[in-house]
Chain A
Amino acid sequence: MNMKKGLTLGLSIVMAATLLVGCGGGKTEEKKPAATGKKLAGSVKIDGSSTVFPISEAMAEEFRKINPDVKVTVGESGTTGGMKKFVPGEIDIADASRPIKKEEVEGVKKRGDDVIEIPIAYDGLSVVIHKDNTWAGTMTVAELKKLWEPTSTVKKWSEIRAGWPDQPIKLYGPGTASGTFEYFTEVIVGKSKSSRADFTASEDDNVLVKGVAGDKNALGYFGYVYYLHNKEKMKVVSIDTGKGAVTPSEQTIKDGTYKPLSRPIFIYVSKKSLERPEVKEFVTFYLKNASKLIPQVGYVPYAESHYQEMLKKVQ
């Protein structure tokens, strides 16, 4: 019996010691920023959509060159995953590929904070086909709806439009947890997250790229940037809303003629976090460099005047 007690005691001591050592390290770390004095220090925490990730990463990378002591971190746990951390105030900025939801705003307000919405860039969802596909260069929204709606029974190209080959059609699309999936179903099918289920789904867009590139009868959709970097491997479908077919390009996405698959992507900033100088400086930097850095990572920026207006919003 004594032995057992001894062992338990020993075990607790070891564990307590481990924890103590752990905490000790943490404390010294926290003191550092204060010691550096006037220079801008502290941390800016960003998390959310993997679609917006490359933009925030580019900003963090450039910001670090000017303010090496500010620790900017970017995660990619998805728009909803990021919101779950943004609402209780665990992070300062949420990356989002869809507008914030009402209940999420309420959650933020409940803890005495507020949200600043900044549409940061456009993403044009691209519908793509195999490069040897000679027939489906243009599709109407109605045809896409017929193909993708949950009740769809379309199995062959000829069932979409008379005259198209009597060949099976293979579908590729993003996973159901992605913001891209939510947006596509909303504007094409008419209801968010409502889609036929018999398609090859992947959270990794490169899997979709490979699928479409290697299958003559494939049709898939994903963010414009993935088409941009794989142009030689596939064809993009021009979308016809009844006013003529429009092909996604930087120009058509920016001027809004590429409809309805062009969507804004956002960052959401906590008003309370914005009171901290390092967060304010970072958001200002973000907006001032948006026009320059956003095209570098494959997205389409807003006009410069939009960012100027947003700058006023955060001052």
Chain B
Amino acid sequence: MLAHSREHKIYQWRKLKDTLFKGLFFTAIVISLAALAALLGGILMKGLPYLTLDFLSSYPSRFAAKAGIKSALAGTFAFIMITGPTAFVVGVLTAVYLEEYAKKNWLTNLLQLNIANLAGVPSIVYGMLGMVIFVRGLGLGRSVLAGALTMTLLILPVIVVATQEAIKAVPVALRHASYALGATTTQTVFRVVLPVAMPGILTGTILAVSRALGETAPLITIGALTYVAFLPTGPMSEFTVLPIQIFNWVSRPQAAFQDIAAAGIIVLLSIMLLLNGAAIYLRNKYRKPVE
């Protein structure tokens, strides 16, 4: 009887602990969601009235009422069009090399360690690197191409690591089956491993690209401009991007610029949401059951 009641007490205590932790976790998520809601609410209230077709199709102006994001929006798109594919191709091939071809020796380990470290380097350092290599070294000037390549370097480590994880998750039985049929390493990689790993790779890439979308510091360092009243006509064109335009408006003395900055933020957030939505869609579409 006594033993039974003691056991019961322990059980109750554990139950209580369980409830406590549940409460703690719930509070944590409420705090972060509340912060997000407050932020989004404030921006939507401020910016939505200014989010008009004119705002999307006008060039920047010294009058807030006339200013728009046409050149910034086009610049952002041009820049993502180069960064996305370049980073994807180079990143995936690097990961494939490291996972499938490289011998497991100290050199590979060193490379691996450095790639992981690179993912944590502050973005402004990449800006300085881009300034030296692309803008001055290769003479690309302050072009979309120079900006996009700088950003490619910035997000490459993230894509490499994500791809490696996705490749590692491919069941070994699939590779064995492929080899058993007489396939070479390359055939196995391109026909078996990569297709299976693709959802993970795409998710990693898209998330990395949306990070590049919001970065300002490296682009300011390489000398991306603030006032541009023409659309990029090619990779060598000068450009501006949304975060730079928003940054400029936020620091203006006239209060009206704060409002259109909020409208700009809404546009930037929508693009990011769209990209992240695409990541989820692609992940679900390509995730075939592997048995």
Q: Which residues from chain A sit less than 8 Å from chain B, CB to CB?
A: 3-4, 6-7, 10-11, 14-15, 18, 21-23, 25-26, 28-30, 32, 43, 45, 47, 50, 53-54, 56-58, 60-61, 64, 71-77, 85, 90, 203-206, 209, 223, 225-226, 228-230, 296-298
The 3 closest A-B pairs by CB, nearest first: A26-B236, A25-B234, A74-B227
Across the interface, do B101 and A73 meet the contact criterion of CB distance under 8 Å?
A: no
Query: Given that A4-B101, A22-B235, A230-B253 are contacting pairs, would A76 and B185 also be in contact in the complex, using a CB cutoff of 8 Å?
Result: no
* Contact, CB under 8 Å: A85 / B223: yes
In this complex, how many residues of chain B approach chain A with their Cβ under 8 Å: the count is: 43
Query: Are A73 and B238 within 8 A (Cβ)?
Result: yes
The CA-CA distance from A58 to B186 in the complex, in Å, is: 58
The answer to whether B62 and A3 touch across the interface, beta carbons within 8 angstroms, is: no
Q: How far is the CB of B256 from chain A (nearest CB, A)?
A: 10
**Closest approach, in angstroms, between the C-beta of A278 and any C-beta of chain B?**
14
Residues of B near A57 (CB, < 8 A) are 60, 62, 226-227
Contact B253 A229 (CB under 8 A): yes
Is B248 in contact with chain A by the CB < 8 A criterion? yes
Within 8 A of A (CB), among B86-143: 86, 89-90, 93, 96-97, 101, 141-143
Q: CA of A240 to CA of B192 in the docked complex: distance in angstroms?
A: 80
**In whole angstroms, how far apart are the Cα atoms of A61 and B228 in the complex?**
9
B145 to A225, Cβ gap below 8 A? Answer: no
Q: How far is the CA of A50 from the CA of B225 in the complex (A)?
A: 12
B238-285 contacts to A (CB < 8 Å): 238, 248, 250-255, 258
Digit string of B67-88 for contact with A (CB within 8 Å is 1, else 0)? 0000000000000001001100
Q: How far is the CA of A43 from the CA of B142 in the complex (A)?
A: 13
Q: Are B234 and A75 in contact (CB under 8 A)?
A: no
In whole angstroms, what is the CA distance A285 to B224 when docked?
25
Given known pairs A22-B145, A28-B234, A29-B237, the reply for A296 and B223 (CB within 8 Å) is no
| B32, CB-defined interface residue at 8 Å | no
B233 contacts chain A at the CB level, 8 A cutoff: yes
Cβ contact within 8 Å between B250 and A60: no
**Contact of A60 with B236 at beta-carbon distance under 8 Å, contacts A3-B186, A18-B86 already known:** no
Pairwise interchain contact B253-A298, C-beta atoms closer than 8 A: yes
- Pick from B62, B229, B236, B252: contact of A29, CB below 8 A: B236
Q: CA of A69 to CA of B82 in the docked complex: distance in angstroms? A: 26
Q: In the complex the two chains form, is A72's CB within 8 Å of B223's CB?
A: no
Among B60, B93, B225, B254, contact of A75 (Cβ-Cβ < 8 Å): B225
- Please name 19 pairs of A and B residues whose Cβ atoms are closer than 8 Å in the assembled complex, sorted by A: A3-B185, A7-B96, A7-B97, A7-B101, A7-B186, A22-B236, A23-B235, A25-B233, A26-B145, A28-B234, A29-B236, A45-B238, A47-B223, A57-B60, A57-B227, A72-B227, A204-B251, A228-B253, A229-B255
Closest to A11 in B: B93
Are A61 and B226 touching (Cβ within 8 A)? no
Beyond A29-B234, A29-B236, whether A60 also contacts B227 by CB under 8 A is: yes
Q: Kindly state the separation between the CA atoms of A30 and B233 in the bound complex, as whole angstroms.
A: 10
- Cross-interface CB contact of A26 among B89, B227, B228, B234, cutoff 8 Å: B234
Collect the chain A residues with CB atoms within 8 Å of residue B250's CB. 204, 206
| CB proximity of A232 to chain B, nearest CB, Å | 11
User: Across the interface, do A29 and B253 meet the contact criterion of CB distance under 8 Å?
Assistant: no
Task: Given A3-B185, A7-B97, A22-B145, verify A75-B224 contact (CB < 8 Å).
Answer: yes
